[in-house]
């Protein structure tokens, strides 16, 4: 079931800009805002990015020089 979202106290200048951008794309404001929300929600949140980074295996081991690490990683490819 679709839900309604209302933006209160949106400054008139922002509304005009939003309306103009939607019109340039041949869209309603509702469709344009929904598209913006969809694009934003496709990206991972900062928490999700941090979680992905934590799961990465370090490519440099203690005591290994960066050049040794690069060489080792190239050999594994």
Q: Tell me what pLDDT residue 77 has.
A: 65
Assess whether pLDDT exceeds 90 at residue 75. no
59, 69 contact by CB (below 8 A): yes
- Cα angle vertex 66, ends 62, 70, to 5°? 110
- Domain assignments of the chain as residue spans, ordered by start: 12-76
Q: 5-56, pLDDT tens digit by residue?
A: 999 999 999 999 999 999 999 999 999 999 999 999 999 999 999 999 888 8
Burial of 51 (0-12, 13-18, 19+ CB in 10 A): exposed
User: Averaged over 54-64, what is the pLDDT?
Assistant: 77
Assess whether pLDDT exceeds 80 at residue 4. yes
The closest of 75, 73, 56 to 64, measured between CA atoms, is 73
Q: Is 26 left (phi over 0), alpha (psi -120 to 50) or beta?
A: left
| 35/77: higher pLDDT | 35
Q: Tell me what pLDDT residue 9 has.
A: 97
């Amino acid at each position: 079931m679709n839900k309604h979202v209302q933006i209160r106290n949106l400054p008139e200048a922002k509304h005009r800009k939003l309306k103009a951008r939607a019109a340039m794309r041949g869209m309603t404001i509702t469709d344009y805002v929904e598209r913006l929300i969809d694009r934003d929600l496709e990206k991972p949140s900062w928490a999700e990015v941090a979680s992905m980074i934590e799961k990465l295996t370090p490519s440099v081991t203690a005591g290994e020089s960066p050049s040794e690490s690069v060489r080792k990683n190239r050999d594994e490819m």
